[in-house]
Amino acid sequence: MRRGSDDIAVVGAGMVGAAAAALLARAAPGTPIVVLDADAPPHWSPDDEPGLRVSALSAASQRVLAACGAWDEIAAARISPYASMRVWDGEVPAGGPGAIRFDAADIAEPVLGHIVENELVRLALRNALLQLDNVRLLDGARLESLVLDGERAELGVADGRRLQARLVIGADGAASPSRALAGLEVRGHDYEQRAVVCNLRCQLHHGETAWQRFLPSGPIALLPLADGRVSIVWSTTPEHAQRLLEMDEESFRAAVAEASDGCLGEVIAAGPRAAFPLRMRHAPVYTRARYALVGDAAHTVHPLAGQGVNLGFLDAAALAQVVAAALAAGRDPGDPALLRRYERWRKPENLLSMRAFDGINSLFSNANPGLGAVRRAGLTLVDRLAPLKGVFMRRAMGLEGDLPATARGVA
């Protein structure tokens, strides 16, 4: 039996785990770090069709990825900047009252964010990790057991390998096996919605704009892709999602054009479709001795605001900042008091965002006619009040809030 000993073990090399490892490895160059993932390494090629899983990345996430050494590779490969966002209530036209338009130019920024394929982000982060000589990457390594007592945590991999670390970072996604092994619970509720995703070519160019129309069963978003296509995220009831998956292509194209109120004209071609269940989850406690949660392992949010991985990158950056400072001062990175400092930083920020997205979903995914008037009045008000609109934009872009140094571009 091989037993490896590292200072830090990151469970999960998804976008958030890989970012946490890269930030820590760069901030604490002498610290041995092991990253294990149950899956095979990511695959992305410019010759492949754009992937079905994409994320709207904020300016703060861009800075975090730059601090990881991954952004240049992402930007050179395939990204789609967007400078505007249109959000409107299902009962009104895109440009009418009850609609809201966010423009980067209003707050003197060049873009609101970038749409990037998840697999490309994972690949660029992996390549950044491969450059760091204090990082070991274990592919196809499924964590099966975890003992957190004592001077070092003990990690058991399904293939029999045994690892030791002073700190274990749980970045293993919404179902997080490490969270369960660490004895931390998770709370939340099912949105009773599924998100149908698909890449489409429309009659009109997206104009570097992200579009989102709220319908009573959930929002439909059309996100701009680099090749002029759009990636849709259509949140709807599970029954409707199933029908959308099973429809022939012509009916599906017509359904998308109708649901998006023809904002980009006819839908000309549609690629493969997939659907994901939507749940709100939050771990009431993020840390214990020798263990800390980041990303979807700590919280999952509704995709309507496109913030899930953006929150996760801020977790990774905050944890890396706290732990790197402790290592530099010769402290134990698994000290529970130290890890609670990270939790006190990120939990209120995440809760604030989660409650806001939850409230928006309840207000908008609702057929109650009384609420329709409230929604339209609220959207019109925000659209007309430039300072309030600026606050929303800055917050979503990660330009405001209690941000880690790497997210502010100062580390």
Both tokens assigned to 321: 């900042």
169 binds ligand FAD (CB under 6 A): no
Among the listed residues 306, 333, 372, 404, the single contact to ligand FAD using CB under 6 A: 306
Contact 270, 207 (CB under 8 A): no
Out of 34, 128, 148, 171, the residue judged to bind ligand FAD by CB under 6 A: 171
Is 11 near ligand FAD (CB under 6 A)?
Answer: yes
Q: How far is the CB of 329 from ligand FAD (least distance, A)?
A: 28
* Residue 82: φ, ψ to 5°: -135, 135
CA distance 262 to 94: 10
50 touches ligand FAD by CB under 6 A: no
Minimal distance in Å, beta carbon 249 to ligand FAD? 20
- Taking CB under 6 A as the rule, does residue 190 contact ligand FAD? no
Tell me whether residue 92 or residue 221 sits nearer to ligand FAD (CB atom).
221
Pick from 219, 224, 303, 404 the residue near ligand FAD by CB under 6 A. Answer: 303
Residue 56 interacts with ligand FAD (CB under 6 A): yes or no: yes
Task: List Cα–Cα distances, 407 to 60, 70, 122, 228, in angstroms.
Answer: 5, 14, 18, 29
Q: Does 70 bind ligand FAD (CB under 6 A)?
A: no
Report which of 18, 23, 2, 14 is spatially closest to residue 323, judged by C-alpha positions: 23
Residue 337 beta carbon to ligand FAD: minimum distance, rounded to whole angstroms: 25
Residue 312 C-beta: closest distance to ligand FAD, Å: 5
Which residues in 26-56 are b (16+ Cβ under 10 Å) and which e?
bbbeebbbbbbbbeeebebeeeeebbbebbb
Torsion over CA of 122, 127, 133 and 138, rounded to 10 degrees? 50
Tell me which of 8, 13, 24, 354 binds ligand FAD, using CB under 6 A: 13
Among positions 76-95, residues that touch ligand FAD (CB under 6 A) are none
Query: Minimal CB distance to ligand FAD: which residue?
Result: 14
d(CA 348, CA 334): 22
| Per-residue burial over 129-143, b = 16 or more CB atoms within 10 Å of its CB, e = otherwise | beebebbbbbeebbb
Residues 6+ apart with CB under 8 A from 171: 10, 11, 12, 13, 14, 16, 17, 20, 293, 294, 295, 297, 316
Q: Between 58 and 321, whose beta carbon lies closer to ligand FAD?
A: 58
- Separation of alpha carbons 158 and 173, rounded Å: 18
Nearer to ligand FAD, 57 or 255 (CB): 57
* Shortest reach from residue 18's CB to ligand FAD, in Å: 7
Tell the residue number behind the tokens 């009850």, with chain if given.
98
Residues contacting ligand FAD: total by CB under 6 A: 32
Taking the C-alpha atoms of residue 368 and residue 372, their distance in angstroms, rounded to an integer, is: 7
Name the strand (E) or helix (H) holding 139.
none
| Cα 156 off chain centre by | 28
The strand pair at 153-157 and 218-224 is best described as unpaired
End-to-end CA distance of the chain: 40
Binding-site member from 7, 12, 200, 255 for ligand FAD (CB under 6 A): 12
Determine contact, residues 198/272, Cβ cutoff 8 Å: yes
Q: Tokens 């090629």 sit at which residue?
A: 45
**Residues, the chain, total?**
411
Q: Rounded to the nearest whole angstrom, what is the least distance from the CB of residue 266 to ligand FAD in the complex?
A: 24
Pairing, β 230-236 against β 187-202? antiparallel
Q: Is 39 in the site for ligand FAD (CB under 6 A)?
A: yes
Q: Per-residue x/- mask for ligand FAD, residues 311 to 350, rule CB under 6 A?
A: -x--------------------------------------
Site string for ligand FAD, 222-261 (x = CB under 6 A): -----------x----------------------------
Smallest gap, in angstroms, from Cβ of residue 212 to ligand FAD?
Answer: 11
Query: Residues 261-290: x/- map of binding to ligand FAD (CB under 6 A)?
Result: ---------------x--------------
What's the closest the beta carbon of residue 323 comes to ligand FAD, in angstroms?
18
CB of 41 to ligand FAD, least distance (A): 10
**Footprint of ligand FAD (CB under 6 A):** 11-17, 36-39, 55-56, 142-143, 171-173, 177, 195, 197, 233, 276, 295-296, 303, 306-310, 312
